[in-house]
Structure 1
Amino acid sequence: MQDILTKRLNRPVNGNRSSVVHEVGATLATTVGLIRTENEDRAISARFYSSKMERYIYFYILSDGMGGMVNGGLAATHTVSMFLSSIIPLIESGIEIDQAIQQSVFSAHQIVSESTNGKGGATLSAIVSHEPGEFFTVNVGDSRIYQCTTSNSIFQITEDDDVKSFLEKLNGIELNSLITKRNGLTKYIGMEGELEVTVESCSALCDLLVISDGISQIGEANLVGLYENKTTDSEFVQRCIHLSNWLGGHDNATAIYASLANLTYHPETTEVTHNCLEVWDCHGYIIIPLAQLPSKGRHPKEKTKKVRKKTAAKKIIKSDKEDSRNDYNLEINQKSLFSSDDVGEISPDNNSVFDEGAGLDLAKIEDNKNNLDK
């Protein structure tokens, strides 16, 4: 699962992109900005049905690769993919969700440290919701999570892990514009040494906003003004990234707006897609099986784009020709069905991964069967 997520998240995102996801109540928007040549922000919304808890678990995750360091985009990719691929088996093992979140952050921290040799890093802001009005948050770095209330107000519920915030806590230290502009992180995924992580439990029927620092740089007053005058969630997040560009576009800017009030946590059994993770990003939607093989019922009927497969097919023929007709069989290399190169394209109608033919040469198989009948 991690390999599939990594390949998915490493797709380049150019210009401005946005998407609205009704299934998880999310709106995503991102821009590369006007200065940077690569978008090193990674943002996804996701859900899976927990057999252990008998409910949907929802995730909203943003990571901002640190510019100026080695492979900032890759660090952000590893942060998101490792966090998400780690937390699902932990939840299914029966441990508390807050502990699962903490352990998953440590797993992401370890893989980023190892993959960049301590020379790269990323922020992490994540929301995990398991019940109506109940959610957990975790934040590492200077990406932010805001709570959006029904009274049309917005306020930050996480704390920035940066020099500016650290100095603000100390009495007698006056902040100036130089400190504000030349700000450094005091904590991030992939940093040297131990990482302290705090998971917060929240109870509120509210909307939430997750942003990278490219949006927070537009200023608190502008962010509040955009929120107070929004007509739709999509309009709000798109105005956030546009204002970031209008003010110079010095950094990548990304936002996830999550509306938790109308989410379905306990669906009818017939409506549940078991043993899979559903992921939405600015590229679209993908289903990742959690088991080794998907059930046949999950394949769409509509035709989609063909995808390259490495699956091998072998013919097994017994020496007795009479028995060989009945014993004709195919062995499919199951391992390659969901390797990192096997991320399927998306059906435009029902939005699921389609494994078209599993890479088998059907014409050759038909010829072999005809030869057996002779």
Structure 2
Amino acid sequence: MENGMKPLEAQLAYWLSRQTARTSVRRVGQLGAAVGSDIGVVRTENQDRAVVVQGWEANGGRFSVAVVADGIGGMRAGGACASLAVSGFIASICESANFRDSSSDWMMNAALSANEAVYNKYYGDGGATLVAALIRHGKAPCWMSVGDSRVYLETEQKLQKLSTDDTIAGQLGRNAIESPEQGRLLQFVGMGSDLQPHVHELESKLSGRFILVTDGIHYLSKYSSCMDKIVSIASDSGVCAKRLLELSNWCGGHDNASVVIIPLSDEEDSISAPSAGFIEISDSFGDGQFFLGDLASSSLRNYSKSRALPNKTLSNGAAGDLSEKEKVVTTAKKVRSKNSAVKKSSIAKSNVANEPQLIMEFPNKRK
């Protein structure tokens, strides 16, 4: 472990901190979901993190969780804080899948774990916003928010803001920030023990899509109904995500912009795994599998490969052209020795039998 981090947290944080392209949008094929991120026009570093994770509960049922984090500018290591927040959140969700039943408990514990992970590293000098949505078969959809990233709900081509920004403007019910003071965060992941995450469940039979965005996208809401129109017209999640990112840049691209769009119901509810021994993670730049402990047996690997569907990376051409440049991860790598370093990092030094094993090749890694 590094700095008290659990093996899964450390490996996820490392994966999330890899070098990436300036912009990308990918579909998560099995879910009808999409994830996208863009560095923007002004910034030189992308401090947003946006992922979709698929895993299995102890009873074999599948769950999906979408997570978006935005490292806080002006504080230390915004990108690293966002990576820590997401990795801590996901690791906690995976633990809850083994023994907790309440989706609200899953989300609350995950938010507090993310807060602890960032605080233990930066002691309040660094932080991130965090929003998430959890989809479980047979359970009501659940969402969580901390900071000023947002959770929207799209139903019947209508867009509804579910979360309330943890800013003065947000608490006053204002959609736009009229002064810098009104935009200051009242709480964030990494602030310490006073954090109070917002966790809510929706109606179990509700249909539609969660849309999670950082402020690099939701600032568009001040331009009349731009977001509403894009979401209502673009029923395809990949097209919708791409258009939101493009519009953000057309309007100035003053900040990093990230979005995850995920349906409220699982399109493959019937899928079950032989054991809850791995998770699949996708961001806009690539995909990976983390095998948990010694459950990474050959039978589980073969099961995973047999059901894997290729995710699509949308091209930089027209938003409606969805047939170009399908990117499929074909090369597998994993950590084999308990004493080996992962790219000169000291992260992966615990026993291989207890470590999550990352199997992927980074398609955008610079050599």
Larger Rg: 1
Whether 1:344 aligns to 2:345 is no
Shift of 1:346: 4.5
Shift of 1:32: 0.2
CA distance in 1, matches of 2:176, 2:254: 21
Q: Cα–Cα, structure 1 residues 96 and 228, in superposed 2: closer, same or farther, change >3 Å? A: closer
CA distance in 1, matches of 2:18, 2:253: 21
CA distance in 1, matches of 2:98, 2:275: 16
Shift of 1:308: 7.5
Q: Cα–Cα, structure 1 residues 208 and 168, in superposed 2: closer, same or farther, change >3 Å? A: closer
Q: Cα–Cα, structure 1 residues 272 and 281, in superposed 2: closer, same or farther, change >3 Å? A: farther
1:246-277 CA-partner distances (Å, limit 9, x unpaired)? 1111100001111234522332x5x6564111
CA distance in 1, matches of 2:184, 2:24: 28
TM-score in terms of structure 2 length: 0.78
Which amino acid counterpart does residue 335 of structure 1 have in structure 2? N
SS of 2:80's equivalent? helix
CA distance in 1, matches of 2:173, 2:102: 34
Q: Cα–Cα, structure 1 residues 338 and 56, in superposed 2: closer, same or farther, change >3 Å? A: same
Give matches, 1:63-142, under 5 Å: 63-131=69-137, 134-142=140-148
Conserved 8 A contact 1:63-1:123: yes
Which amino acid counterpart does residue 206 of structure 1 have in structure 2? G
SS of 2:294's equivalent? coil
Give matches, 1:41-80, under 5 Å: 41-52=48-59, 54-80=60-86
Conserved 8 A contact 2:47-2:71: yes
CA distance in 2, matches of 1:347, 1:108: 25
Q: Which runs of 5+ in 2 are unaligned?
A: 1-7, 307-327, 340-348
Shift of 1:291: 2.8
CA distance in 2, matches of 1:13, 1:273: 32
SS of 1:155's equivalent? strand
1:273-299 CA-partner distances (Å, limit 9, x unpaired)? 641111111122211112335111315
Query: Counterpart in 2 of 1:260?
Result: 264
The structure whose RCO (Cα within 8 Å, separation 6+) is larger is: 2
Query: Counterpart in 2 of 1:283?
Result: 285
Q: Cα–Cα, structure 1 residues 296 and 190, in superposed 2: closer, same or farther, change >3 Å? A: same
Shift of 1:14: 2.9
CA distance in 1, matches of 2:362, 2:80: 27
Shift of 1:305: 4.1
SS of 1:113's equivalent? helix
Shift of 1:178: 4.2
CA distance in 2, matches of 1:338, 1:247: 48
Q: What is the RMSD computed on CA atoms of the aligned residues?
A: 3.0
Q: Report the more deviating stretch, 28-37 or 277-286.
A: 277-286
Give matches, 1:23-38, under 5 Å: 23-38=30-45
Q: Cα–Cα, structure 1 residues 57 and 239, in superposed 2: closer, same or farther, change >3 Å? A: same
Query: Counterpart in 1 of 2:158?
Result: 153
Q: Cα–Cα, structure 1 residues 337 and 133, in superposed 2: closer, same or farther, change >3 Å? A: closer
Shift of 1:143: 0.7
Identity of aligned residues (%): 24
Shift of 1:31: 0.3
Shift of 1:3: 1.7
SS of 1:123's equivalent? strand
Whether 1:2 aligns to 2:24 is no
Which amino acid counterpart does residue 105 of structure 1 have in structure 2? A
